[in-house]
Structure 1
Amino acid sequence: MSDGDLTTATWFKSSYSNGQGECVEIAFVGEAVAMRDSKNPAGPALVFAPGEFGAFVRGVMDGEFGE
């Protein structure tokens, strides 16, 4: 599978998911990390380089994106 091909990706939802439908799923795709809305698995996905995904996660943990 190439970094841009998500057809055979294995998606994971956080164990912290509260069942309210406000979750994302991630998949490790080659050297990249893909992220999608768990309510719309057929919809678009964002694909990050590992460093970009790490920066995104740190931003979420630091509250940079609001509530």
Structure 2
Amino acid sequence: MSPTTHWHKSSYSGNQTNCVEVGRLADGAAIRDTKNRAAGHLTTSRAQWTAFITALKTNRFH
């Protein structure tokens, strides 16, 4: 996968550090723990990330 760029966390997090950040990849996304960035990150393909976001939006995890 390509280098991770543009890390973001939810605007709902405010100044909190107990959340996750999502980074953009050319071919997917990366996820890391805001309070432990040195621990690395997980990567997903574009298809995996799209499926995950769709599942969140359709309340599949409830």
TM-score > 0.5 by shorter chain: yes
CA RMSD of aligned residues (A): 2.3
Deviations 1:17-37 (A, max 9, x none): 154433110111111101101
Query: Percent same amino acid at aligned positions?
Result: 31
What CA distance in whole angstroms lies between the structure 1 residues aligned with 2:46 and 2:53?
A: 11
Aligned length: 61
Partner of 1:15: 11
Structure having the higher strand fraction is 2
Q: Which runs of 5+ in 2 are unaligned?
A: none
Structure having the higher helix fraction is 2
Q: Which runs of 5+ in 1 are unaligned?
A: none
Partner of 1:52: 48
Greater mean deviation of Cα atoms: 28-37 or 52-61:
52-61
Greater mean deviation of Cα atoms: 27-36 or 16-25:
16-25
With the length of structure 1 as denominator, give the TM-score of the two structures: 0.66
